[in-house]
Amino acid sequence: MGVGRSLFVLLAGAAIGGALLLAYRVSQETGKSFSESLTDVPTEAQRLFTDLRGRADQAIDRGRDAYHEKESEIEEHLRGGTQPQ
């Protein structure tokens, strides 16, 4: 039971710390007081996760394109078309 409790405390601390960090960031960007910025934390968190999701999707697309390009080069090389680089 001690491990479960420790994990819970760790996760709760990380969530609270993240919320406080977002509130601080909002207060610095908007000039609001820290306590006023606490109400903007859910919106800021959603914006942050949306941005991260967009970046991850772009990285996956670039990786997929690079994979297909390399696969085409290998197939062409196996057929004897070009030399590998």
Q: pLDDT tens per residue, the chain (85 residues)?
A: 688 999 999 999 999 999 999 999 999 999 999 988 999 999 999 999 999 999 999 999 999 999 999 999 999 989 886 555 5
Report whether 44 contacts 25 (CB < 8 A): yes
Distance CA 18, CA 62 (A): 30
Distance CA 28, CA 13 (A): 22
In the chain the first and final C-alpha atoms are separated, in Å, by 57
pLDDT of residue 55: 97
pLDDT of residue 2: 85
* Of 37, 39, 7, 6, residue with least CA distance to 24: 37
